[in-house]
């Protein structure tokens, strides 16, 4: 068996291209996956720019989620077999022919689902559960506000919140077309932030109990402003900047929680806890088709540069993928 494989290589000041790298091996609790599909995430762009290095021991190749087939298992793996079709949350390595991952970060792909569909699920579902349901404890009947409502995470947040009976789901997006797409997925209100003041509109709608924000900058103060008493706000990114001047008095007066999380660097047992919760609470809805992956564009791995350019441009709705079978 060859000790090398192909991967998408990112070198300083060069376009992404396919090249040879060392093939990973699986540790005792890991499996080796032959990758068919890899999901793109904005964290990939940040890593490529040099600001989000992989955790110690993780692959330096980009890619935080994939779908494929298990080709090898470690000595301590108990629940998986060679040949299983799986999708997985990764600490890195998805843009490659093979990748290794801890067994606690795997999902079985439903028989009715393609690799492309499955590759769009792990990162968004685990991120949504970890932040909206675990960190912020969204409950049935409460109002959820999601910025970036037509991103991969946003489109999944709408579906998962609707599944548990959220009272009102409000999203922001950058065009009327995107707002219409969000409503079709189950959003009750969709605000075009380029033509409307989302802060004023959310106040008109009664405020929000939970806010998921990936924008940062002046949105931090506005999120505080539109939160109800006892509201919870979680930042998962700061696309417009992380350094802000904030009046914290409303935070105290309304007894708010302002928090933030990342997923990539969490230890494996914590990732398995999140995976197990998604399996229990939401994976049956994936199997039944009640919750569906939202896919914008699928590129062959050789077109990773074009795929990342589209991701950076922000015009997509749902996930952008790299695939061995881009037309499937």
Q: CA quadruple 70, 72, 73, 78: dihedral positive or negative?
A: positive
pLDDT at 212 over 90: yes
* pLDDT of the residue at 328: 74
Residue 312's pLDDT band, with cuts at 50, 70 and 90, is: very high
pLDDT at 1 over 60: no
Overall average pLDDT of the 157-183 stretch: 98
Nearest to 7, CA basis, from 38, 51, 40, 46: 38
Q: CA quadruple 271, 274, 276, 282: dihedral positive or negative?
A: negative
141 SS3 class: coil
115 vs 68: CA distance, rounded Å: 6
Spatial CB neighbours of 302, under 8 Å, sequence gap ≥ 6: 18
Instruction: Name all domains of the chain by residue range, CATH numbers in brackets.
Output: 4-121+266-323 (3.90.180.10), 124-260 (3.40.50.720)
11: its two tokens = 């070198």
Rounded mean pLDDT of the chain?
Answer: 96
The radius of gyration of the chain from alpha carbons, rounded to an integer in Å, stands at: 20
Nearest to 125, CA basis, from 10, 261, 276, 6: 276
Residue 12's pLDDT band, with cuts at 50, 70 and 90, is: confident
b/e code 242-264 from CB counts within 10 Å (16+ = b): eeeeeeeeebeeeebebeeeebb
Q: Hunting for tokens 């940040």 — which residue is that?
A: 46
pLDDT, tens digit, for every residue of 124-161? 999 999 999 999 999 999 999 999 999 999 999 999 99
Q: DSSP letters of 71-99?
A: EEE-TT--S--TT-EEEEE-SS--SBSEE
Instruction: Give pTM, 2 decimals.
Output: 0.96
* pLDDT of the residue at 2: 73
């Amino acid at each position: 068996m060859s000790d090398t494989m192909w991967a998408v290589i990112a070198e300083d000041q060069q376009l992404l291209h396919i090249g040879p790298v060392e093939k990973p091996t699986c540790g005792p609790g890991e499996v080796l996956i032959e990758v068919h599909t890899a999901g793109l995430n904005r964290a990939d762009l940040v890593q490529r720019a040099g600001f989000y290095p992989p955790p110690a021991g993780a692959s330096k190749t980009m890619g935080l989620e994939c779908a494929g087939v298990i080709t090898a298992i470690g000595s301590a793996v108990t629940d998986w077999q060679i040949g299983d079709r799986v999708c997985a949350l990764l600490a890195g390595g998805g843009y490659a022919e093979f990748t290794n991952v801890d067994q606690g970060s795997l999902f079985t792909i439903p028989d009715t689902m393609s690799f492309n569909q499955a590759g769009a699920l792990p990162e968004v579902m685990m991120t949504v559960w970890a932040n909206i349901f675990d960190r912020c404890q969204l409950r049935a009947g409460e109002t959820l506000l999601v910025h970036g409502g037509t991103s991969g995470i946003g489109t999944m947040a709408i579906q998962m919140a609707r599944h548990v009976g959220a009272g009102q789901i409000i999203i922001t997006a950058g065009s009327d077309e995107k707002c219409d797409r969000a409503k079709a997925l189950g959003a009750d209100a969709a605000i075009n932030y380029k033509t409307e003041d989302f802060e004023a509109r959310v106040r008109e709608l009664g405020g929000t109990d939970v806010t998921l924000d990936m924008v940062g900058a002046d949105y931090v103060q506005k999120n505080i402003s539109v939160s109800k008493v006892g509201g919870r706000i979680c930042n998962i990114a700061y696309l417009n900047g992380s350094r802000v001047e904030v009046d914290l008095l409303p935070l105290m007066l309304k007894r708010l929680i302002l928090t933030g999380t990342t997923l990539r660097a969490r230890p494996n047992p914590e990732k398995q806890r999140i995976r197990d919760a998604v399996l229990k609470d939401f994976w049956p809805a994936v199997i039944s088709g009640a919750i569906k992956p939202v896919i914008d564009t699928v590129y062959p791995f050789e077109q990773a540069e074009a795929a990342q350019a589209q991701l950076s441009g922000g015009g997509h709705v749902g996930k952008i993928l790299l695939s061995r079978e881009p037309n499937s």
